[in-house]
Amino acid sequence: MRRPFTLFSVVAHAVVITAALVAQQLDVGALPTPHQPVLFEAADIMPAEIQLPKPSQRTAPRTAATESASVSPDEAPIVAPTGVTPEPGRNDEATPSGPIVGVENGVQGGIESLVGGGAPPPPPPAPVPPMRLHQGMKAPYKIVDVPPVYPAVAQRARVEGVVILEAVIDAQGRVASVHVLRSIALLDQAAVDAVKQWRFTPALLNAEPVPVVMTVTVNFTLQDR
């Protein structure tokens, strides 16, 4: 008898608990009231005092008479002057008399006479380097001949022969330089001294005188053999 009662009690409790759970799930009730958001209008705004500009007052146009009477001497003028007055403190300075020139009594012909009256002269042409004789040139020929002085020491030593020299002849026909190509020690200086005194007609290239390089010979021969 006790077992059926226990089983009935368990089933009854289970039914009650289940009904309570179902009722709790189905009965949602009233929805909660949401929090009221903070609106911008509700925020505290600090008042600011703004001063409006005062209305401008129209003034009468300023004239030269009122300008001179009311303007400060340190203020810039806004009305054009009617004339030019002498600057204060300048009336007592002496005014120079006579022509004002850069040098004493001036320069005849002005500044142009100092610089040539125009553009500077062109630079002189570059010198033409000496060239060797070739076809198409008119070769120079000797117009002044100076014989060499036979050195006494070479005569006593019975030294004779031919000294070969290379001479540079300028555009005027003068011997500008000489150096020895074939040497005889006792006769070289006498040969060089003689050739430096020679004179030639200018060498011509396209009818223009030009410096040239020539090979010349000086022969030393004993006369009393």
Instruction: Report the C-alpha gap between 182 and 161 in whole angstroms.
Output: 10
Q: Flag whether pLDDT at 3 surpasses 70.
A: no
Of the ranges 45-54, 130-139, 210-219, which one carries the lowest mean pLDDT score?
45-54
Count of domains for the chain: 1
What one-character-per-residue DSSP string does 144-174 give? E--PPPPPHHHHHTT--EEEEEEEEE-TTSB
Mean pLDDT along residues 25-31: 62
pLDDT, position 164: 97
- Average pLDDT across the chain, whole number: 77
Does a structural domain hold residue 213? yes
Distance of CA 123 to the CA centre of its chain: 25
Confidence of residue 10 (pLDDT cuts 50, 70, 90): confident
- The Cβ of residue 137 has, within 10 Å, a number of other Cβ atoms equal to 15
CATH of the domain at 159: 3.30.2420.10
* Tens digits of residue pLDDT in 189-207: 999 999 999 999 999 999 9
Q: Flag whether pLDDT at 42 surpasses 50.
A: no
Instruction: Report the C-alpha gap between 171 and 204 in whole angstroms.
Output: 9
pLDDT, position 60: 59
Does a structural domain hold residue 42? no
Does a structural domain hold residue 206? yes
Percent of the chain with pLDDT over 90: 39
Does a structural domain hold residue 39? no
Boundaries of domain holding 144:
132-220
Position with higher pLDDT, 14 vs 160? 160
Q: Flag whether pLDDT at 110 surpasses 80.
A: no
Does a structural domain hold residue 196? yes
Q: Flag whether pLDDT at 53 surpasses 50.
A: yes
Does a structural domain hold residue 99? no
Does a structural domain hold residue 123? no
SS3 for 184-224 is: CCCCHHHHHHHHCCCEECCEEECCEEECEEEEEEEEECCCC
pLDDT, position 64: 53
Confidence of residue 9 (pLDDT cuts 50, 70, 90): confident
Does a structural domain hold residue 138? yes
* Tens digits of residue pLDDT in 133-177: 888 899 999 999 999 999 999 999 999 999 999 999 999 999 999
Mean pLDDT along residues 102-112: 56
